[in-house]
């Protein structure tokens, strides 16, 4: 066979393989989460002054058995290990939950481009006594050490679209600034 024929067969095979992966395993193209972001600190007493190169604001609302779960203001600010500073993923103000439950704005301010997983916020919140995440990176809303996947049916919408897969590893990207994340925990 001529070289051109082999090149054409190779190009066609590569194209078919790419389309098959894109159709049958699209998760292969998902960004891999950078779990270390929960330890990042801006400013603070023991950290050199750095400026974030990425700054964006996903919004989150969490419902457990039909009740809104309020996130405390200043979550991730002035924590142990980041005294006088802010974690790369943190909360400033929260909505007036008594009069108007609404999305809480998560501030993501990282040094360098990072793939910030939703679960990293739960790691930070857990340090302040809030819901957490297990060592296996699974939600633990009630902090009993058991993965919530065993206790709840967990679903999530982002901008009104249902999500599948490891919701804890869902990556909040700068290009999706302002995305609206809704997490639902329903007891089994």
- 107-143 pLDDT tens trace: 999 988 899 999 999 999 999 999 999 999 999 999 9
Across 5-160, where does the E strand assignment appear?
Answer: 41-43, 54-56, 59-64, 67-68, 85-87, 89-91, 104-110, 116-117, 132-133, 139-140, 152-158
Mean pLDDT of 36-50: 78
Phi, psi of 175 (to 5 degrees): -65, -15
Residue 91: name the closest of 60, 132, 136 by CA. Answer: 60
pLDDT tens digits, one per residue of 170-187 = 999 989 999 999 999 999
**pLDDT score recorded for residue 7:** 66
pLDDT at 80: 86
pLDDT > 90: what percent of the chain? 60
Residue 42's pLDDT band (cuts 50, 70, 90): confident
161-170: pLDDT as tens digits: 999 888 999 9
Q: Per-residue confidence at 45, pLDDT binned at 50, 70, 90? A: low
Average pLDDT on 91-111 reads 87
Residue 27: count of CB within 10 angstroms of its CB: 9
Predicted confidence band of residue 17 (pLDDT cuts 50, 70, 90): low
The pLDDT of residue 60 is above 90? yes
Query: Domain coordinates of the chain in residue numbers?
Result: 1-30, 32-187
Architecture per CATH, domain 32-187, reads as Beta Complex (2.170)
- Report the sign of the C-alpha dihedral through residues 139, 119, 68, 73, in that order: positive
């Amino acid at each position: 066979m001529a070289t051109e024929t082999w090149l054409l067969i190779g190009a066609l095979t590569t194209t078919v393989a790419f389309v098959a992966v894109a159709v049958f395993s699209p998760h292969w193209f998902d960004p891999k989460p950078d779990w270390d972001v929960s330890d990042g600190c801006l400013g603070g007493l023991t950290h050199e002054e750095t400026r974030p190169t990425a700054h964006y604001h996903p919004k989150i609302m969490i419902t457990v058995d039909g009740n809104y779960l309020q996130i405390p203001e200043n979550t991730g600010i002035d924590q142990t290990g980041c005294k006088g500073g802010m974690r790369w993923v943190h909360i400033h103000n929260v909505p007036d939950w008594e009069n108007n439950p609404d999305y809480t704005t998560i501030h993501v301010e990282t040094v360098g481009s990072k793939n910030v997983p939703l679960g990293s916020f739960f790691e930070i919140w857990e340090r302040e006594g809030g819901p957490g995440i297990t060592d296996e990176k699974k939600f633990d809303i009630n902090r009993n050490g058991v993965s919530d996947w065993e206790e709840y049916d967990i679903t999530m919408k982002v901008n009104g679209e249902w999500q599948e897969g490891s919701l804890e590893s869902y990556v909040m990207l700068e290009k999706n600034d302002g995305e609206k994340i809704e997490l639902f925990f329903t007891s089994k």
